[in-house]
Amino acid sequence: MHNSTSQTYTGIFNDSFPPILDGVTLTVMNYVRWLPQSGMKPCVVTPWNPRRVECGCEVMRYFSLPIPSRRPYRYGYPKADPFIWKRLDNTHFNLVHSHCPFSSGRLAVYVKKKQNVPLIGTFHSKYRSDLEHSFRRTPWFVPIIMRRIIGFFNACDEVWIPQAAVQETVREYGYKGPLTVVDNGIDFADIDSESLKETKSEARKRAGISPSALSLLFVGQHIWEKGIGIIVEALAKISGKVDFTMDFIGTGYAIDDLKSLVARLGLSGQVRIHGCVEERGRLKDFYAAADVFLFPSLYDNAPLVVREAAAMGTPSVIPEGSTASEVITDGVNGFLTQHSAEAYARTIESLAKNREEIIRTGIAAKQTIVRNWRDVVEEVADRYRVILKRRT
């Protein structure tokens, strides 16, 4: 990357970036895509990855190593990279926004202090859950890192959360400062509602799903914290009672064990595990082909996948009381149930007998919880301008 002192960048910092794909990465990618429409020039700062993906913007990468327990994620080590500090010093930022409190967050704090620019931090994930898995053999390390995380958010000029219910988690972690709710968007939110029925029908044909089968879907990290075990156990309970197909999209540390569990429960004929689907058009087809999106996660704050499914008229089944359930009204724009295989099995069996209810709630989900990224990032740019104006 060529750094020019004549350029002023808006820094977008995150520990994951393509080819790593998750909800936070998609958020960053859409900030990068739409901020130039508001006259801003984004520069992404992220750990190095051996596989490069063109993204159409300036990218600074710094030394990283793979995280064995969380493949394909990598952990950045900026202290081991003498060049990143010089590159940051030689790049003029007007504002920095970090979507992660770890290595990229520390670099964002460095830029804030060095260049005296405002820093925004977005609280995307339930970090303690990730840490408890990664450090399950050394649990004493978790509170140490949690203190560093809160230290990062305390260093921010503003802390953003993707929906109001996330406030509970942030307060539980110990952050006491003000919070601003800033929505996430969907990059295929503009699918026309009138043509949705035909879009879903055509996607279903391409996927080879019979008209009679109940098409079920999960998209996300294949980790036990997401409740993927509950899905498979629920499917085992309805097998033989409900004609269904189940598609799993994504990757994660539990993918091999998930395949073994599917085989052991005799579900291989009805369950397909696809791995990571990077091409957004193909992923959109999976969402469209599905009748119901299964998301039994207590781990997520404001999962983009629930909104992506809704954009294609596919309602979600979510655990009642979860942070993700804040945007769902049971039986209106989705379905809430208990966080157990038994409850999920009962809900799926009930929905299989009432396809009209699925269609109705899918349409309502599209109308109530879906916003396009263009509008969201336009609001983000307006917020940036207000923050910058306060500093002058």
Residue for token digits 């400062």? Answer: 177
The DSSP secondary-structure symbol of 200 reads H
pLDDT band at 5 (very low <50, low <70, confident <90, very high): low
User: What amino acid occupies position 150?
Assistant: I
Extract the tokens encoding 34. 């739409």
The reply to whether 8-185+372-391 and 193-369 are identical in fold is yes
Mean residue pLDDT across the chain: 93
CA distances for 163 relative to 88, 167, 371, angstroms: 31, 8, 13
Residues 235-292 have pLDDT tens digits of: 999 999 999 999 999 998 899 999 999 999 999 999 999 999 989 899 999 999 999 9
Assess contact for 75 and 67: CB atoms under 8 A. yes
Give me the percent of the chain exceeding a pLDDT of 90. 79
pLDDT of 358 reads 97
pTM of the model: 0.87
Closest-CA residue to 256 (of 223, 231, 233): 223
Task: Report the chain's terminal Cα–Cα distance, integer Å.
Answer: 29
Residues 299-356 have pLDDT tens digits of: 888 889 999 999 999 999 999 999 889 999 999 999 999 999 999 999 999 999 999 9
Matching CATH number, 193-369, of 3.40.50.300, 3.40.50.2000, 1.20.1250.20, 3.40.640.10: 3.40.50.2000
Residues 157-216 have pLDDT tens digits of: 999 999 998 999 999 999 999 999 999 999 887 777 778 889 999 999 999 999 999 999
pLDDT of 191 reads 79
Task: Map out the domains of the chain as residue ranges.
Answer: 8-185+372-391, 193-369
- DSSP per-residue codes, 335-357: EEE-SSHHHHHHHHHHHHT-HHH
- Bigger pLDDT: 73 vs 5: 73
Fold classification of 8-185+372-391 is Rossmann fold (3.40.50)
Instruction: Tell whether the model's pLDDT for residue 34 goes beyond 60.
Output: yes
